[in-house]
Structure 1
Amino acid sequence: MTALHIFLTTPFLGTATWFWLAFLAIIIFLLVLDLGVLQRDHHEIGVRESLLLYSGYFSCGLAFGGWVWYEFGATHALEYFTGFLVEQSLSMDNVFVMAMIFGFFGIPRRYQHQVLFWGILGAIVLRGVMIGLGAALVKEFEWVMYLFGAFLLFSGVKMLFVKHDSEPDLEHNPVLRFLRRHMRVTPTLHQHHFFVHQPDASGKTLRYATPLFLALVLVELADLVFAVDSVPAIFAITTDPFIVYTSNIFAILGLRALYFSLAAMIHRFVYLKYALALVLVFIGTKIFLHGFIGKIPAVVSLGVTFGLLVGGILLSLLKTRRTGEEPLEIVSQEKREVRVGNVDGGVDPRQKQGTDV
């Protein structure tokens, strides 16, 4: 038995190392294909291309679930599919926030994909850290699951009865204010660049961040905030770190690809919030019922979750089929145009001497 074989078969967080390496290889291949081939010209992604990208990522997620079924059995596969569905659904609210961020900074659609792409890399790392910590806590202290359950119940009930009609005040966001105080930031975009070099008033060439970088930081922050709900929700479905992490990442990949379609019609999902709230309540209740009736079968969890979400989406589409509301992203972009006036992504004529990097 060689050292390589021992390394590949040694369990990492309960699963053989080679499964983790295979998963990471698939993700790296998809990301390289996405940015290096499909988006190397930074073109604007339309609804049709967005749906095609999503169908590709969704198919990869389903195929990976099939591999999980083959390697680990039906129960693990159903838990994977349930986690995949829950994460995609709970992250849909994130689309509202991402659209607001892009609108606030006036990021043209042709550069939004780059922010989302690099945001995925951050999410892969941050979700890994959160899931690793969560798995360690659950393994060491089983009662932590009841805290997760109580948190999910609280979040679900709050989502059902608390209204959030006002947009977040990004102008006074503490993270954004901190970055602006401690970094040199250009007033306008420099095409697809996060940083540029340009001379200051004294003629010395300095490095500046662009609004595209600020948008990336806020997108990462939003993902971290939404993960506070979604990670405990998936741990309530399964405590296997491999199933939790892989379903989480495949769901994020699909949702980011679907963003350009959802941003144009998310205003129609008026009842989706209530369906998501019921999903959180159901998952939280599962944890407390475990001590009385045992573990609820994975197929029941998947069926209930799927039924609630499909019901919420269909009811929303029927309710809003005749409304003429504007998509959130369009409204936000128009507000930004009034406030800033330069959202074309070009280089400000006063800054043409700067060098993009």
Structure 2
Amino acid sequence: MPFMVATLAVLAVFFAVDILVIGRRPHVPSTSECLRHIAFFVAMALIFGGLVWWVSGSGPAIEFYSGWLTEYSLSIDNLFVFVIIMGNFAVPKDLQKYVLSIGITIALVLRGIFILAGTALITRFTWVFFIFGGFLLYTAWSMVSGKDKEEEEYRENGLIRALRKVIPITDEYEGERLRVTRNGTRFFTPLLVVFLAIGTTDVMFAFDSIPAIFGLTKDPFIVFTSNVFALLGLQQLYFLLGSLLDKLVYLPYGLAVVLAFIGVKLIMEALHGNTLPFINGGGPLEAVPEVPTWLSLLVIVLAIGIAAVASLLKARGQKGQGLDDVSKSNSR
């Protein structure tokens, strides 16, 4: 218990400094600033995993590393949509960091609610793993079949469309101000809509990420800390990747492998622990093997690593091909 309390206190300080202090300073961070922040939070995640190993053993530590890598990888994929949202709403460059800080804060609160709900569900109804597993398999199939088009186009959800109809919203930004007065009438600025767009979009992401993390660990403390460490430094990662996001062409395939693996793992756990009519005489399938945590970590590292390396190699090959084409054109 003291370790959990100390961890939550330190994470609260990290989050407050990263999101509420640094994030509120409107500016476009430099590459070196982004690299320093990302390296710091990645190092902190690795150190925290080591502390978990020291306090609770290798099992929980491997669960944390697996969950953190999965959530971090899904967060990178989600940045595609954040780029589209920023572009669609024409958010000024110097305000994007502030917008991301508020959006990530909303995301953490919503994910906390999802984690509490998920913990309550799996504690009382272990058959919910069938639903989680099936949903992850469908998501993985959508990623590789081209049905998941969130990266290519963002559409306002019903909440935002209804909001535009009932409250007056200006067409121009007024710095960090949410409300302005014009000719005696109070208006909201587009920042309100952008905050809601990023926050509600993250709710949809949670439908992927929360079942995935519960497929790796049932410990709500590990689930929550994995999510927090995945969100810390995300705004710096947004600016660092920037135009590089469209070069990570194979990342969705790596994520699809991870989600499909976790989906199968969840279904196997459900088969192992639930009483099923018409199967095995109405009893649980004890013969179904349990997937060890080290295998989950290995699959995640290999899938994401191979996808990232393949994407970079393809981007380098395309760049080299482009230079060759320019050279041939000039020689003519």
Q: TM-score, normalised by structure 2?
A: 0.85
Please point out which of 166, 171, 174 is paired with 2:158.
Answer: 174
1:109 is aligned to 93
Q: Which amino acid aligns with 1:96?
A: F
1:231 is aligned to 210
For the structure 1 residues 138 and 37, does the alpha-carbon distance in structure 2 shift closer, same or farther, using more than 3 Å as the test? closer
Do 1:95 and 1:263's aligned partners in 2 also have CA atoms closer than 8 Å?
A: no
1:128 is aligned to 112
SS at 2:84 equivalent? helix
2:46 is aligned to 62
SS at 1:188 equivalent? coil
Q: Which moved more, 1:160-169 or 1:131-140?
A: 160-169
1:256 is aligned to 235
For the structure 1 residues 255 and 41, does the alpha-carbon distance in structure 2 shift closer, same or farther, using more than 3 Å as the test? closer
| RMSD, aligned α-carbons | 2.0
1:198 is aligned to 181
Q: TM-score, normalised by structure 1?
A: 0.79
SS at 1:263 equivalent? helix
Distance 1:247 1:69 in 2: 14
The within-5 A match list for 1:151-190 is 151-164=135-148, 167-170=152-155, 173-190=157-174
1:88 is aligned to 72
**Structure 1 runs, 4 residues or longer, greater than 3 Å off:** 18-21, 35-41, 163-167
For the structure 1 residues 103 and 119, does the alpha-carbon distance in structure 2 shift closer, same or farther, using more than 3 Å as the test? same
SS at 1:264 equivalent? helix
Do 2:247 and 2:311's aligned partners in 1 also have CA atoms closer than 8 Å?
A: yes
Percent identity, aligned pairs only, is 38
The structure richer in helix per residue is: 2
Do 1:88 and 1:252's aligned partners in 2 also have CA atoms closer than 8 Å?
A: yes
CA-to-aligned-CA distance 1:145-204 (integer Å, 9 cap, x gap): 12211111121122111345683353x5422221212222121011122x133133xxx3
Do 2:140 and 2:256's aligned partners in 1 also have CA atoms closer than 8 Å?
A: yes
Q: Which amino acid aligns with 1:168?
A: E
Q: Which moved more, 1:67-76 or 1:233-242?
A: 67-76
Displacement after TM superposition at 1:322 (Å): 4.2
The within-5 A match list for 1:306-317 is 306-317=301-312
Displacement after TM superposition at 1:303 (Å): 0.8
SS at 1:81 equivalent? helix
The within-5 A match list for 1:142-153 is 142-153=126-137
1:320 is aligned to 315
For the structure 1 residues 190 and 149, does the alpha-carbon distance in structure 2 shift closer, same or farther, using more than 3 Å as the test? same
Distance 1:284 1:35 in 2: 32
SS at 2:27 equivalent? coil
CA-to-aligned-CA distance 1:227-268 (integer Å, 9 cap, x gap): 101100110111111111110111122333311112220111
- Relative contact order (C-alpha < 8 Å, sep 6+): which is higher? 1
Do 2:29 and 2:236's aligned partners in 1 also have CA atoms closer than 8 Å?
A: no
The within-5 A match list for 1:31-42 is 31-35=15-19, 37-39=21-23, 41-42=25-26
For the structure 1 residues 164 and 158, does the alpha-carbon distance in structure 2 shift closer, same or farther, using more than 3 Å as the test? closer
SS at 1:24 equivalent? helix
Do 1:185 and 1:211's aligned partners in 2 also have CA atoms closer than 8 Å?
A: yes
Paired residue total: 302
Do 1:65 and 1:80's aligned partners in 2 also have CA atoms closer than 8 Å?
A: yes
CA-to-aligned-CA distance 1:96-146 (integer Å, 9 cap, x gap): 110111111111222111111112221221111101111111010111112
SS at 2:233 equivalent? helix
Distance 1:66 1:323 in 2: 40
